[in-house]
Amino acid sequence: MPEFPRVDDALLQRLDVPIPRYTSYPTAPVWSEKVGRRAYSAALAEAGKRTEAPLSLYLHIPFCRERCSFCGCNVVISRSTAGADAYLGALVREMDAAAELLGDRRSVSQIHWGGGTPTFLEERQIESLWTAITRRFRVLPDAEVAIEIDPKVTTLSQLTLLRKLGFNRMSMGVQDLDPAVQEAISRIQTAEKTREMLDGARALGFRGINFDLIYGLPRQTPASWARTIAQVIEMSPDRLAVYAFAHVPEVRPNQKRLPLSELPRGADKLELFRIAWEAFTSAGYRPIGMDHFARPDDELAEAQARRALTRNFQGYSVRAASDVVAFGVSAISDVGGVYAQNTHSIARYKDAIADGELATERGFACTADDVRRRGIITQLMCNFHVDLGASAAQEFGGELARLGALEAEGLVSVKGAEIEVTPLGRIFVRNVASIFDAHLCVGQRLFSRAV
């Protein structure tokens, strides 16, 4: 396994700027209210004509029992599960509206329940939501059916039910196992609880079990972080997502509660990623994309080796369908080149659905150029390689010239129309991808920094 590349301070300063994560292209700040319900309805109806192609479904469960101060998600804090019934009713009505527009196109290769905390729901609520999905859509036998869980609020009984229903993938929020860091981010979760959920999920037959970790949190030190990583390696999940903490208090006011002076930044933050990278690769994990790791026999590692890895809002995948139909407050659909995001307000969401409308609030209709650039950015972010094709010089003359500067820094190697991201460039792959972003300056201050 190659060593973690050396990054000198001057290079880090030049590249550690606010930059998108490219979970979509064009990125969300470019979207507008001009693309709303009507555009999304038309996209669903058009998508319905592609009857053979399977769909990805995303369901957003926004509820959490407590607000973690680092959180960047759209959540509703509640102690009681009773209030979720009305929300689940709205989700089902939204599914009906989308299914009607989709006509006969109902087979599904990927389902993802995210949040918030999907296991905030009671078992009866989980079961009825699953039944509602399977009454409207045909889940393919080899579908990837994933759920995000918060070990603090999840029970083994819930895991058993989920597995019985057909869930086969799981991602758990872990972030950091150090008590001082957990206190700083208002998220107390013992290693024992995390291990109990992991062992339970494994025994039930879940595969591709993922831990989410975050580096750059307050009070993380190289020593404390190395201890967390060692504990995680000992537990041995199948996959790891090691995210850079996105500090965006303008967008997420709850982050204003974090002790700012204790946030690692710049070279200190990158050092935390180096510690994780070296420990996980030494333990046999393969680096995947920008910030993930997987066991060599995991399907993500195998797909990346074939340059066949892909990615959508839910993360890296080998089964991501071309169209993602999303349900729930703030959920983002991606259908036939149209991004459509539902309202962030739970009240507005319920009102729209009660009126028999879709709850789209803003979106973006991609042009052919956007679709082309999106394909290039996805290739770079997932497989660290792209072939721009025979017309590269005419289509992307300006981009190739700007890539020359990154090549001189050692981030990419360009041979004719082929771009290969180097090991150093993998750390800054967002910067490499941004060369192909034709909309970049819009809303740039809202993005987190590259490291």
- Write out the residues near ligand SF4 by the rule CB under 6 A: 64, 67-68, 71, 73, 75, 115-117, 150, 173
Query: 49-82 burial, b for 16+ CB within 10 Å, e for fewer?
Result: eeeeebbbbbbbbbbbebebbbbbbbbbebeeee
- In whole angstroms, the minimum distance from the beta carbon of 68 to ligand SF4 comes to 3
Nearest-Å Rg of the Cα atoms of the chain is 21
- Residue 360 in tokens: 């789209």
Residue 204 amino acid letter:
L
Coil, strand or helix: which one is 5?
Answer: coil
When the beta carbons of 15 and 61 are compared against ligand SF4, the nearer one is 61
User: Contact at 8 Å (CB) between 241 and 209?
Assistant: no
Provide the phi-psi class of 186: left if phi over 0, else alpha when psi is between -120 and 50, else beta. left
* Count of Cβ atoms closer than 10 Å to residue 20 Cβ: 25
- In whole angstroms, the minimum distance from the beta carbon of 16 to ligand SF4 comes to 24
3-state helix vs strand vs coil in the chain, percent to 5: 40, 20, 35
- In whole angstroms, the minimum distance from the beta carbon of 254 to ligand SF4 comes to 8
- In whole angstroms, the minimum distance from the beta carbon of 72 to ligand SF4 comes to 7
- Report d(CA 399, CA 248) in Å as an integer: 29
- Report d(CA 272, CA 232) in Å as an integer: 15
Query: 134-147 burial, b for 16+ CB within 10 Å, e for fewer?
Result: eebbebbeebbbbb
The helix (H) or strand (E) run that includes residue 397 is helix 397-408
Dihedral in degrees, nearest 10, Cα atoms 348, 351, 354, 357: -60
When the beta carbons of 77 and 180 are compared against ligand SF4, the nearer one is 77
- Residue 165 in tokens: 């229903």
The helix (H) or strand (E) run that includes residue 302 is helix 299-305
When the beta carbons of 246 and 283 are compared against ligand SF4, the nearer one is 246
When the beta carbons of 115 and 200 are compared against ligand SF4, the nearer one is 115
When the beta carbons of 349 and 428 are compared against ligand SF4, the nearer one is 349
- In whole angstroms, the minimum distance from the beta carbon of 187 to ligand SF4 comes to 6
Coil, strand or helix: which one is 74?
Answer: coil
- In whole angstroms, the minimum distance from the beta carbon of 70 to ligand SF4 comes to 7
- In whole angstroms, the minimum distance from the beta carbon of 67 to ligand SF4 comes to 5
- Report d(CA 428, CA 384) in Å as an integer: 11
When the beta carbons of 64 and 331 are compared against ligand SF4, the nearer one is 64
When the beta carbons of 114 and 287 are compared against ligand SF4, the nearer one is 114
- In whole angstroms, the minimum distance from the beta carbon of 185 to ligand SF4 comes to 8
When the beta carbons of 326 and 338 are compared against ligand SF4, the nearer one is 326
- Report d(CA 352, CA 336) in Å as an integer: 23
- In whole angstroms, the minimum distance from the beta carbon of 330 to ligand SF4 comes to 12
When the beta carbons of 150 and 370 are compared against ligand SF4, the nearer one is 150
